[in-house]
Amino acid sequence: MAAWHKTALAELAKGNDVAVINRGSSMRGLVEDGQVIIISPVSISDIKKGDVALVRIKRGRFLIHLVKDIENSKYLIGNNIGGLDGLGNRRCNLWQGETCHA
């Protein structure tokens, strides 16, 4: 796990918002490479379709991706350029994000 994940998760666990810098182009058009995102701890029931979220996926990787759909308490996670990561359930790890505009 990268160091930023450890720091971010520790702060989220305390109930604090966390500022992270997005890296990569999978969210281009919505969140650009180098853009700051504020991640907030929320109840899983507060997550809705279209939310930008910090998501824990396979093998402990973390991504800033989208909640593409929610159906029967299953969360479809993907990027903003057509890729899908898969389904998560109510026990999956999601934290709500909001992009910061300069």
Spatial distance between the Cα atoms of 62 and 55, rounded to a whole number of angstroms: 5
Spatial distance between the Cα atoms of 14 and 28, rounded to a whole number of angstroms: 30
Task: Could you list the beta-strand ranges (E) of the chain.
Answer: 18-21, 36-40, 52-56, 62-71, 74-78, 84-88, 94-99
Rounded to two decimals, the pTM is: 0.79
Task: State residue 101's pLDDT score.
Answer: 43
Task: State residue 79's pLDDT score.
Answer: 92
Q: What is the full per-residue pLDDT of the chain (102 aa) written as tens digits?
A: 457 778 888 898 899 999 988 889 999 998 999 999 898 888 888 888 999 888 887 777 788 889 999 988 888 999 999 998 888 776 556 666 665 443
CA 10 to chain centre: 16
The highest-level CATH class for domain 3-99 is mainly beta
Q: Where are the domains of the chain?
A: 3-99
Query: Which strands sit side by side in the sheet containing 74-78, from one edge to the other?
Result: 18-21, 36-40, 94-99, 52-56, 62-71, 74-78, 84-88
